[in-house]
Structure 1
Amino acid sequence: MSQIKQVGERGIQMSGGQKQRIAIARAILKSPKILLLDEATSALDTESERVVQEALDLASVGRTTIVIAHRLSTIRNADMIAVMQYGEVKELGSHDELIANENGLYTSLVHLQQTRDSREANEVGGTGSTSAAGQSSSHSMSRRFSAASRSSSGRSMGDEENDNSTDKPKLPLPSFRRLLMLNAPEWKQALMGSFSAIVFGGIQPAYAYAMGSMISIYFLTDHNEIKDKTRTYALIFVGLAVLSFLINIGQHYNFGAMGEYLTKRVREQMLAKILTFEIGWFDRDENSSGAICSQLAKDANVVRSLVGDRMALVIQTVSAVLIACTMGLVIAWRLALVMIAVQPLIIVCFYARRVLLKSMSKKSIQAQSESSKLAAEAVSNLRTITAFSSQERILRLFDQAQDGPRKESIRQSWFAGLGLGTSMSLMTCTWALDFWYGGKLMAEHHITAKALFQTFMILVSTGRVIADAGSMTTDLAKGADAVASVFAVLDRETEIDPDNPEGHKPEKLKGEVDIRGVDFAYPSRPDVIIFKGFSLSIQPGKSTALVGQSGSGKSTIIGLIERFYDPLRGVVKIDGRDIKTYNLRALRRHIGLVSQEPTLFAGTIRENIVYGTETATEAEIENAARSANAHDFISNLKDGYDTWCGERGVQLSGGQKQRIAIARAILKNPAILLLDEATSALDSQSEKVVQEALDRVMVGRTSIVVAHRLSTIQNCDQITVLEKGIIVEKGTHASLMAKGPSGTYFGLVSLQQGGNQH
């Protein structure tokens, strides 16, 4: 079982370093002739980096290897180093050749790092490429939501069976009345549509009555009488055609408008509700982005057809049946009674078919969402799929995912065919009975031939109307499931309400954070405990760094401070108040987050910087961009601040995206600043400037910094060293270094120094 773990959608069950190592293993397993490493070790802590670097050095032997790196230790042994600036190759040569040129660009980068190393004996964050070009954000499995969704190492180790053992709550039976109440504002359309449907229901029996009378006309002996009556009935048919045309327009327009308003309302309410759910809900497999999108798109549409088309058909059918039965009983009650008596047979056939299909529609819906999820993941990770030429593998998986729905649909078709076939044959048998009994009544002079034809035509056409209504029961079955799933979302109470009206809304925060006696495990892996009795105090206005190996729980702390998750036991306090007593929307206005994988939205750079801030002037936006060292590169773009970022920021390099994310946090002017690997995607020049910007921004506000690069944290007021969810050391850089070789922090620094020296 140790080899078979579910990593979750886009790898969210794993920490950044773990995902990166899996991606490297995937590339090594492929044994390629050309190996492309784009910042391949940037997400790793020092210990992992050293091991992975050795593996990559081994894997690179005898292969064409192209390495993009900001950390100089990863490229020092390269046969050829190309130094780029603004899309041009400025220098070319080996490390020794380039370092020999004292005024060269490469030398200046090395000195930049060495000054930092000699100053604080630290890790190198250098680069073989200073240009933003070529840095496609290559953490190919990007993190969903935030750093906090990324869990600790243990989280990926829970067995998959745990997921399956939890019973899914049964959806409540949908209330059709409640669905109609959602459509209450369109009561005028509902009235006009229903009136049209009732009239249209009456057209069918009227047409059948005229048809029956028409047939009996041909039995008359007087030619003139035949002519007159034929003309009359022909005009009746024309009148019915015109009426039918107008009534149909009225009916479909009104119900269509109702349905569209309902779709809009359902989608808005569902999305508004989904956005209030806690992060843990999205970590579940059944709530992947593909499944949610499919629910928003499909379920709302099914609900619309249920209220629009289906409701019209039901009203129409009821109206037609009542009018036809009344007319039949008035014209020839004996024959009508026999014909009405056999109708239930037909209805039973369709009812049985409906029950069968309802039980099967659930399975097919679930199987379809599996393939939707696979397609969504394939599209969002297209670059990785293209790089590994694994299109065929994805198509094979997609084919397998489609296999279940295909078999299910074929089974359904058999049942549907048998059900429909039985009902059709029974309907024909009832005709035989009707003619036999009608003939008997005529022979006994109870009814005339005209009455026989009229009653037969009226009630047979009604049978057809019931049959049409019966065939739509499959849609009703699917519709009922869709309505149930829509209401399940609308009725679900979020465990962490982001906008609790009774919550405290702070105008200002001091920024004091206190985590006391916290036990924590991620909801999707409840058996893997990340923290047990964990406590940490963060002073207001001071900067605290969290360091430790990949998966030691650093990002989990950020998730708890943002209240993405609630602890199982213990409290998280901000400014002395339990975080659960705050109105989260108001609290989060005072918290700025910059994560390792910056989240940009499809929109302009300006929109992305202003995101999360209500109002900002042009000058404020530019100042924030300047502070984040982003103004220069934005100004050099053709459209400047109006440049389109592309979906998830694909038009920009990793470093550029990160600087925009930092500008966004600066513009928010938060009391608490959370930096989760905020400079890991930057080259050394950008890192130096951004680090200075962050140092300026961090002054006077509570800052919590998660970093593998120790250069980014040596100036912090307090450094906390974590190991497997436990604090092993804390103090300033100098006090921790003073512990000598016995200290964990000292060991991390030495490891990094070693990486820089060779």
Structure 2
Amino acid sequence: ALGTALPNLKYFSEACTAAFKIFEMIHRVPEINSEDMTGEVLEKVSGEIEIRSVEFIYPSRPDTVILSDFSLIIPSGKTVALVGSSGSGKSTVISLIERFYNPLRGEILLDGMNIQNLQIKWLRTQIGLVSQEPALFATSIYENLLFGKEDATMDDVLNAAKASNAHDFISQLPDGYHTQVGERGVQMSGGQKQRIAIARAILKHPPILLLDEATSALDAESEKIVQEALDKASMGRTTVVVAHRLSTVRNADIIAVVQSGGVIETGRHEEFIHKPNGTYAALAQLQQVSSKNEQTPTNSISMSITQASITPANILTAKSSRHGSQGGSERSSQSRRIFPEQENPDEEENNKTEIAKKRSIPSFRRLLALNAPEWKHTVLGCMGAIGYGALQPAYAFTLGSMISVLFLKDEDEMKQKVKVYCAIFVCLSMWSFMVSFLQHYNFAAMGELLTRRIRLMLLRNILTLEIGWFDRDENSSGALCSKLGTDANMVRSLVADRLSLLTEAVSAVGIACILSLFIAWRLALVVIAMQPLIITCYYTRNVLLRNISKKSIKAQEQGCQVAAESVVNHRTITALCSQDRILRLFDSTQEGPHKEINRESWYAGLGLATSQALTILNWAMDFWYGGKLIHQGIITSEDLLKTLFVLIRSGRIIADAGSMTSDLTKSADAVDSVFTILDKNTLICPDDPKGIKPQILEGNVDMEKVDFAYPARPNIIIFQNFCLRVKAGSSMALVGQSGCGKSTIIGLIERFYDPQKGRVNIDGKDIRSFNLRTLRQHIALVGQEPTLFVGSIREIIAYGKEDATEAEVIEAAKAANAHEFISCLKDGYYTNTGERGMQMSGGQKQRIAIARAIIKNPSILLLDEATSALDSQSEKVVQEALDRVMVGRTTVIVAHRLTTIQNSDCIVVIEKGRIIERGSHSQLLSKGDGGAYYSLVTLQQQNHLPSP
């Protein structure tokens, strides 16, 4: 028993190492414990907040002071707006009020009580937060809203959705409030995600409301309606608004201008406007100039237009006869992306083929082929396994011989032979040490190298797959991380452990059978005849365990997805006090498979118990038959002992192999999962050797009669017979309601997707004829939500150009208005941005992303809300930089803010996936009240121009 247990000690060692890290995290007592139920609870919250002489630095950047002697009083029931440049500390104030962090010095008071003395969970239930980048979870819209208030009724949910202008588009979806939003809300447009997040905050009915750029992702019409809803929601509540657009804060009771971590001005909008030398007045003047630039020379759009004349209803009425409603545009277009798909025959056949591949486990020979570079380790490991396998029957034979010696009548002969056999045992122990070391070291080294290679191959293939593949639920980030982490390691277990065990078992059983047949062939045949029955029991157990393993892997992937989302969105979860809800979601992913696993585990246990019982019954029959042969004088007692010990020892090896069937089953399923990805051929190959590799592009873009639907929603048409032409060196702006298809055009030009019909041409050639990697080197994209990788700012900017010099990086940063704030950081360009750029403000992240695009020096520039996160001053400077960069380049701009596109050569208005207007800014405005673009500009001017 000890000999059987000792080899398994390595698993205890591995478990202890893993458990140390796990328990270290479990037992860690956080400085701010969300589950700490101590602290006071106020009977009534009036909502007065006082920030008194606060100094703050982020723990990850202890040398950079964010707030210094920051003081501000936020009266109860009033709206206080924080304005200032990106990185000035506005969002940090929000985080401190939410108590995501504690200040280094100073204090924050709620109704005169230091918030550090209040029960933290209760405190956060009194606060509603809507952030700049809305966080949605991979569940239904209804479930997402319930994160705001778990016991909310359906009427509460409907009222909150209506107040945030979300009810209409939700109602148009086939599953309504039960529509799945996808991972991180990927099935929703930016504006739709933001409105759901606002509804979630409104549902909470908090006495304190924190709005951090809550309307930044909305188009003009939606922004106006949502802003009105927020204004209503703010009534009677203490509201803190962080905003770059002064139009969203001009009605605030108090406006605080934040600069360099302190408050430099406080007052009302009307007071600031009459201080020409004030910082706020300068910001207002800057935005006023931008807005005035939208007006026609004849002032056909006057700020004297009455509120009634530009209501959404009137705008829609003016256009309904020709174009239908803008709201309908958004709903129908977005519905196309969310409606459940019905599989077409081709895709269904492809799915069946993929399922067939998944069910066909890769051959062991193919797995060994992956280990070809480690052939030396493989050969040496197999030699060790053969040697260790041969040791087992040799040891059993020696043991049987020695026991028979103990029955000798001659004591001298007995002593002499005992000494000989003891010497043999010593030799066997030395042999065991050498071959065991040779076996386990080489197979372990081989396995680790294989794991590394598998992970690299997996990641390489994942990165080449088309974007549509990632839209599927089974290919979520959590599931893919599980494959890279756990499944790749399981492949090592299958190859290294299986090959080691197989070689050892074949060696031991083969030698044992030959030796036992030589000693007593009659008895040996009886013993050997029973082995197939035992092996059948193990095989049955293996089949049952395989079914269990598949369910376990599926549950693990779903659980990983929930865990991954909870980590990524931990701020939102913390603000909503939804830790318990997330734990229930995580537990629910395990519940279904858990019941099935329990049922099948009974059968698996029965198979193992039967095999163990048959083994013992086999011994009983062997001793009975052996005794009969001795009685008949056919064999001696020494022959009986030698034969049984040799075969029983080999039977133990079979039993050990059987006990590993559960691990091997899990490994086999992991291999199945891994090779499904490795064998997946991308529909959009980035490295087609036959593709055209252009050295330079003119930049002509032409979409010819394009039909397109997202692969995950094949029956929901986005474009039908869509045509668009962008001349080389010109700029084209795409405007329209959220979800009308603007960003889809960007995706088609980048060839994230291929159209079902029609062509996308660049310089007169079908985009599918290019080598995609080379083509994308001439295209730069700046998205609405900037994606920064973990690393230094310099590394992130240099992603745009691999061989970028220090001077080029700095020049690009200057052009994007990023150099100044980067230089103020302690480590400058070598400052780590954190995961997903968490150490940077929204505006800072966007400027770094713009610098990354500028350094690429592209022929085609794609800007998808590239300046949406910037304050007015930064937006002006960055827009000027982009205007300079756009000269001589083909530029496609997607924007809600019309100030960013008024200088474009051509503006295209899109509705319901079709072009309804096109022309220059002045040409479209000249159409007057009947024009869609005119209506958008009119509405946006009313929203954005600060009142004098």
Q: TM (normalized to structure 2)?
A: 0.75
Matches within 5 A, 1:2-151: 2-121=176-295
Which residue pairs with 1:157 in the alignment? 338
Q: Displacement of 1:106 after TM fit?
A: 1.0
Task: Check conservation: 1:6, 1:160, Cα contact below 8 A.
Answer: no
Offset of 1:156 from its aligned partner?
Answer: 4.1
Question: Residue 862 of structure 2: SS of its match in structure 1?
Answer: strand
1:510 is matched with 698
Segments of structure 1 that go 5 or more residues without pairing to the other structure are: 124-150
8 Å Cα contact 1:592-1:674 kept in structure 2: yes
Contact kept, 8 Å, 1:368 with 1:405, in 2: the verdict is no
CA distance in 1: counterparts of 2:681 and 2:343, whole angstroms: 23
2: CA distance between counterparts of 1:707 and 1:227? 97
CA displacement at 1:481 relative to structure 2 = 2.1
* Alpha-carbon contact 1:154-1:530 (below 8 Å) kept: no
Residues of 1 paired with 2:669 and 2:611: CA distance?
A: 25
Question: In structure 2, which of residues 745, 757, 764 is the aligned counterpart of residue 557 of structure 1?
Answer: 745
Structure 1 residue corresponding to 2:631, chosen from 414, 418, 443: 443
Question: 1:482-536 deviations in whole A, cap 9, x for unaligned?
Answer: 2222222122111000111110111111111001100111111112111111101
Check whether the contact 2:342–2:714 (CA below 8 A) recurs between aligned residues: no
Equivalent residue letter for 1:604 = S
Measure the CA separation in 1 of the matches of 2:842 and 2:470: 25
Question: Which of 529, 541, 544 does residue 729 from structure 2 map onto?
Answer: 541
2:772 and 2:437 map into 1 onto residues whose CA distance is 50
Displacement of 1:102 after TM fit? 2.6
Distance apart, 1:405 and its partner CA: 4.0
Q: Given residue 48 of structure 1, which amino acid in structure 2 is its aligned partner?
A: S
> Deviations 1:428-448 (Å, cap 9, x if unpaired)?
111111111111111111111
| Aligned twin of 2:383 | 195
- With over 3 angstroms needed to count, the CA separation of the structure-2 counterparts of 1:388 and 1:162, relative to structure 1, is farther
Once residues 809 and 207 of structure 2 are traced to their aligned partners in structure 1, the CA distance between those partners, rounded to angstroms, is 46
Aligned to 1:647: 835
1:169 and 2:359 are equivalent in the alignment: no
* Superposed CA offset, 1:436-495 (max 9, x none): 111111111111111111111111111111111122223332222222222221221110
Displacement of 1:360: 2.5
Identify the residue that residue 398 of structure 1 maps to in structure 2: 586
Shift of 1:97: 2.5
Structure-1 separation of matches of 2:666 and 2:800: 39
Q: Secondary structure at the match of 2:802?
A: coil
Task: Give the match for residue 250 of structure 1.
Answer: 438
> Residues of 2 paired with 1:540 and 1:201: CA distance?
72
What's the C-alpha RMSD, in Å, of the aligned pairs?
Answer: 1.7
Q: Partners in 2 of 1:98 and 1:161 — Cα distance? A: 58
Answer yes or no: is the 8 Å Cα contact 2:219–2:738 preserved in 1.
yes
2:812 pairs with 1:638: no
* Partners of 2:293 and 2:538 in 1: CA distance: 83
Alignment-derived partner of residue 792 in structure 2: 604
1:667-706 matches, within 5 Å, as 667-706=855-894
Matched residue SS, 1:506:
coil
C-alpha separation between the residues in 2 aligned to 1:681 and 1:46?
15
Q: Which residue number corresponds to residue 219 of structure 1?
A: 407
Deviation of the 1:637 alpha carbon? 0.8
Q: Which of 615, 621, 631 pairs up with 1:433?
A: 621
The yes-or-no answer on 1:465 pairing with 2:662 is: no
State the aligned residue count: 731
Secondary structure of 2:780 counterpart: strand
Q: Deviations over 1:124-165 (max 9, x none)?
A: xxxxxxxxxxxxxxxxxxxxxxxxxxx951244312786998
Structure 2 SS opposite 1:332: helix
Name the structure 2 match of 1:146: none
CA contact (8 A) 1:13 1:155 kept: no
Query: In 2, Cα distance between the equivalents of 1:119 and 1:319?
Result: 86
Take 1:359 and 1:607, find their aligned partners in 2: how far apart are those partners? 46
Cα distance 1:48–1:546, how it changes in 2: closer, same or farther (>3 A)? same
Q: What residue is the counterpart of 2:65 in the other structure?
A: none
Is 2:239 the counterpart of 1:239?
no
Q: Which moved more, 1:334-343 or 1:407-416?
A: 407-416
Please give the alpha-carbon distance, in whole angstroms, between the structure 2 residues aligned to 1:644 and 1:425. 61
Cα shift readout 1:334-371 (whole Å, capped 9, x = no counterpart):
21111111222211111111122223321221111110
Give the corresponding residue for 2:802: 614
Give 1:387's aligned amino acid.
A
Query: Contact conserved, 1:270 with 1:489, CA < 8 A, in 2?
Result: yes
Higher relative contact order (CA 8 A, sep 6+): 1
Q: Give percent identity, aligned residues only.
A: 63
User: 1:247 offset after TM fit, Å?
Assistant: 0.5
Q: Give the secondary structure class of the aligned counterpart of 2:266.
A: strand
Following superposition, the deviation at residue 316 of structure 1 comes to: 0.6
- Gap change, CA 1:510 and 1:120, over 3 Å in 2: same
Partner residue in 2 for 1:297? 485
| CA distance, structure 2, for counterparts of residue 407 and residue 317 of structure 1 | 35
Paired with 1:253 and 1:116, the residues of 2 have a C-alpha distance of: 70
Out of 271, 279, 302, which is 2:467 matched to? 279
Compute the displacement of 1:254 (Å). Answer: 1.4
Change in CA separation of 1:517 and 1:156 when aligned onto 2, cut-off 3 Å: closer
The one-letter amino acid of 2:283's match is L
Per the TM alignment, residue 54 of structure 1 is displaced from its structure 2 partner at its CA by: 1.2
DSSP-derived class of the 2:855 partner? helix
Q: Is the contact between residue 7 and residue 156 of structure 1 (CA under 8 Å) also seen in structure 2?
A: no
Contact 1:152 1:556 in 2 (8 A): no
Equivalent residue for 2:528, pick from 306, 323, 340:
340
> 2:185 is aligned with what amino acid?
G
SS for the counterpart of 1:340 is helix
